[in-house]
Amino acid sequence: MELVNFLGIQLLNALWLSALLFMLAVGLSVVFGLLDVLNLAHCTLYMIGAYIGFTIANWLGSYWLALAVAPVAVTVVGAVLYVALLRRLRGNHLIQALVTFGLLFVGYDAARMIWGVDQFRMAEPALLSGSFPVFGQGYPVYRLFVFAVGLVTAVALYLGLERTRLGAVVRAGVDDRETAAVLGINIDRAFFIVFCIGTALAGFAGVLAAPIRTVEPGMDVEILIPALVVVVIGGPGSLKGAVLGALIIGTADTFGPVLLPEFSSFTMYAVMAAILLVRPQGLLPVKPAH
């Protein structure tokens, strides 16, 4: 019974972590898969979202306002970054990696200059502050909320891609860019909108994470690696791949440290290596290998 309770709690932990990873990885993945931009600073935008969210919540006392405004602010930052810098680096992954890795340091120092080195934790909203009894203990409601938001986000993105005109335009652009242009479709604009959605999700994830994980310089790097692993094992550019990859890595990253503590830093990579041995193109790639 105790084992069941223990595993049950870990399973719940795996769910919210997977949701968070998904919301980060999906932007990273789609921007890489569609726009051919490897943005290692994607998680810096997540950190900025957490800081801005924390600041808003601190000043104005409203978590919900923070959750609404911070993603918008982060999107503006991301859009400026894209137009001024990332767009010019298309097609050269090495330069992209170097430049955006540099941005990671800029973000780290900027965060230290603006907010200092202190660790913050944002208060969760009163509505979601309680815990509920499950598996023999109280489990925070807020963490389940994060999982629910991740789930809703995944469904919304799926419907957006499959059922809307923008989604059809994006799929057309992925299928055949040249023909899309010949039909009068401005693919660059559609992909830019996709970039902005991915960026907004990074900011959104930052605010969601702020009451669970500490807000501090370096919180971006901490989650960048698992998010990248999700992209790689799911298949770059793939929405379903990001969902599946996030669930796998969220689970591995939760259960690994408690089941095999001495291998905790290794679990995720072992899982990645095992998957890539079997499916080097990722589990659910956008364009299936023939």
Q: Which residues in this chain contact other proteins in the complex, by CB under 8 A?
A: 165, 168-169, 171-172, 174-176, 178-187
**Which is nearer to other proteins, 187 or 284 (by Cβ)?**
187
**Which is nearer to other proteins, 33 or 71 (by Cβ)?**
33
Instruction: State the maximum Cα–Cα separation within the chain, in Å, rounded to a whole number.
Output: 64
Q: How far is the CB of 238 from other proteins (least distance, A)?
A: 12
**Which is nearer to other proteins, 93 or 287 (by Cβ)?**
287
Q: How far is the CB of 22 from other proteins (least distance, A)?
A: 22
Determine the Cα–Cα distance for residues 88 and 137; give it in Å rounded to an integer: 52
**Which is nearer to other proteins, 83 or 134 (by Cβ)?**
83
For residue 261 the two structure tokens come to 């503590």
For residue 258 the two structure tokens come to 């408690």
Q: How far is the CB of 161 from other proteins (least distance, A)?
A: 10
Q: How far is the CB of 189 from other proteins (least distance, A)?
A: 9
**Which is nearer to other proteins, 146 or 180 (by Cβ)?**
180
**Cβ–Cβ < 8 Å for 41, 81:** yes
Exposure letters 110-136 (e unless 16+ CB within 10 A, then b): bbeeebeeeebebebbeeeeeeeeebe
Please report which helix (H) or strand (E) contains residue 270, including its range.
helix 267-278
- DSSP conformational letter for 87: G
Q: How far is the CB of 280 from other proteins (least distance, A)?
A: 22
Q: How far is the CB of 163 from other proteins (least distance, A)?
A: 10
Dihedral sign for Cα atoms in the order 80, 85, 88, 93: negative
SS3 for 200-250 is HHHHHHHHHHCCCCCECCCHHHHHHHHHHHHHHHHCCCCHHHHHHHHHHHH
**Which is nearer to other proteins, 109 or 162 (by Cβ)?**
162
**Which is nearer to other proteins, 118 or 176 (by Cβ)?**
176
Q: How far is the CB of 218 from other proteins (least distance, A)?
A: 40
